């Protein structure tokens, strides 16, 4: 893998206001979203060794202000947030039926859908970044024109040395059609350096029979580094030099699977940034996602993140 050209590490996408049930009619309000969850964990793992930042669209309202303040408190760079007057953050509410969780979304008109509306600002935000992380959800929420703007910006940044990571995170409901989803993801893969798919998504979208088929398909698109996550199953990792299969350590007390993939991505990418080999970076991803599985919500406990940081020993 080429070296990271700088310690500016970015994720592009949508964070939403989260309402999580606390019993009765009481809800705890937070902020979450796949690419945000990833960059948040990268920021907490790496602290001052990196400048982790989130690229999104937000409004000028109180919720947007609070989210920016919270990101800044957590050490994230927010200078690339595009402010969209007259729009606000999307929202989702978690409904609990016993231990089953279902999600209700209000995000069709969110400010994040406009994150690529200002092409020069986007280009400037991405310029010189070591890493730019994008997901299929990022692509799904954009208009076709905005996707082209984003692709042009990613391709320019990549041409200047930025490493692009991509988690397809397929969410059928966000796409106008399966074909549109497939075509957009194919375009994205043409400038992806590190792909981080989950096997169940890929099996659904492409009919892959097993993780090896996913690896073959992505390598055929020219992706240099492919990591296929598969829940409790092994991670299948591949580069031009060969394929590794790494068992996933069992996690016993799972409370909530939300954000498992996002935090795995964070551990893996932070590990690669620190110069770890794939196997050690995968172990870091697995350890971080185990910490997320043990808790309600998409974020690991601070004490667990600190424990992982101390193992990194730097």
Ligand X SMILES: Nc1ncnc2c1ncn2[C@@H]1O[C@H](COP(=O)(O)OP(=O)(O)O)[C@@H](O)[C@H]1O
Please report whether residue 251 would count as binding ligand X according to CB under 6 A: yes
Is there a catalytic annotation at residue 262?
yes
Residue 279: closest CA among 232, 230, 242 = 242
List 61, 262, 301, 306, catalytic entry: 262
Residue 96: closest CA among 28, 34, 30, 22 = 22
Show the site string, 189-228: x = touches ligand X by CB under 6 A, - = not. ---------x------------------------------
Q: Nearest 5°: CA angle at 253, between 24 and 270?
A: 100
Please say which residue, 184 or 286, places its beta carbon nearer to ligand X: 286
Confirm if 37 and 259 have CB atoms less than 8 A apart: yes
Please say which residue, 193 or 202, places its beta carbon nearer to Mg ion: 202
Show the site string, 46-75: x = touches ligand X by CB under 6 A, - = not. ------------------------------
DSSP per residue, 22-51: EETTEEEEEEE-HHHHHHHHHHHHHGGGSE
The three-state secondary structure class of 231 is: coil
Q: Give the C-alpha distances (Å, rounded to integers) separating 44 from 41, 231, 232, 271, 289.
A: 5, 23, 25, 13, 14
Q: Which does 269 bind (CB under 5 to 8 A by kind): Mg ion, ligand X, none?
A: none
Q: Residue from 198, 214, 236, 258 that binds Mg ion (CB under 5 A)?
A: 198
Q: Residue from 90, 261, 271, 297 that binds ligand X (CB under 6 A)?
A: 261
Q: What is the dihedral of CA 73, 84, 133, 219, to 10 degrees?
A: 170
Please say which residue, 90 or 261, places its beta carbon nearer to Mg ion: 261
Interface positions, 202-241, toward Mg ion (CB under 5 A): none
Q: What residues make contact with ligand X under the rule CB under 6 A?
A: 198, 229-232, 235, 248, 251, 254, 257, 260-261, 264, 286, 289, 293
């Amino acid at each position: 893998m080429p070296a990271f050209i700088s310690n500016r590490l970015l994720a592009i996408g949508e964070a939403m206001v989260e309402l999580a049930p606390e019993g009765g009619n009481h809800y705890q309000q937070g902020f979450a979203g796949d690419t945000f969850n990833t960059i948040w964990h990268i920021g907490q793992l790496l602290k001052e060794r990196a400048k982790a930042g989130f690229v999104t669209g937000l409004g000028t309202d109180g919720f947007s202000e609070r989210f920016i303040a919270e990101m800044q408190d957590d050490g994230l760079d927010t200078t690339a947030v595009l402010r969209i007057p007259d729009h606000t953050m999307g929202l989702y509410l978690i409904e609990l039926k016993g231990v089953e969780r279902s999600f209700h979304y209000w995000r069709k008109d969110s400010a994040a859908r406009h994150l690529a509306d200002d092409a020069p600002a986007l280009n400037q935000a991405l310029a010189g970044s070591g890493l730019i992380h994008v997901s299929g959800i990022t692509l799904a929420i954009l208009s076709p024109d905005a996707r082209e703007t984003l692709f042009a910006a990613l391709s320019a940044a990549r041409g200047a040395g930025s490493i692009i990571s991509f988690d397809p995170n397929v969410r059928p409901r966000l796409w106008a059609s399966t074909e549109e989803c497939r075509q957009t993801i194919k375009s994205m893969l043409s400038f992806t350096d590190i792909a981080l798919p989950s096997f169940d998504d890929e099996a659904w979208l492409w009919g892959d029979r097993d993780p090896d088929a996913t690896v073959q398909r992505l390598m055929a698109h020219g992706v240099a580094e492919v990591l296929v996550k598969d829940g409790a199953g092994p991670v299948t990792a591949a580069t031009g030099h060969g394929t590794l299969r790494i068992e996933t350590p069992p996690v016993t007390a799972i409370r909530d699977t939300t954000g498992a993939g996002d935090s795995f991505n964070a551990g893996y990418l932070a590990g690669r940034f620190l110069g770890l080999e794939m196997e050690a970076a995968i172990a870091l991803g697995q350890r971080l996602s185990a910490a997320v599985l043990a808790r309600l919500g998409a974020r690991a406990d601070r004490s667990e993140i600190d424990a992982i940081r101390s193992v990194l020993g730097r």
